[in-house]
Amino acid sequence: MKKLVIFFCLLAVLSCKKNALEPSEANCEKAAAEYEKVIAAWSQDIGNKTKCEAVKKSLNEIIRSCNVYTPAQRKVYEDQIKDIDCN
């Protein structure tokens, strides 16, 4: 399940970087860079609750900062974030 969630998260980042529109492109890329940083840290320590929460927070920031997503796409990503169990 985690591999599937990570795949969709990476897909979101790539979509954000590739298709971001002005004027939020800088915010979108900043959020994507932060996500890459926290997902790398979490992948080294999957059991760490703090790192897991950081991943969820950064994914929410990508959804908020990147205006390329339709409401339906945002809902899918939000549901996937809810499926990440940090406990």
pLDDT, position 23: 37
Single pTM value for the model: 0.67
Look up residue 24 and give its DSSP letter.
S
Nearest to 16 by CA among 2, 6, 26: 26
**Band (20; pLDDT cuts 50, 70, 90):** very low
**Band (44; pLDDT cuts 50, 70, 90):** very high
The domains of the chain are located at 2-83
Exposed, middle or buried, 14 (CB in 10 Å: 0-12/13-18/19+)?
exposed
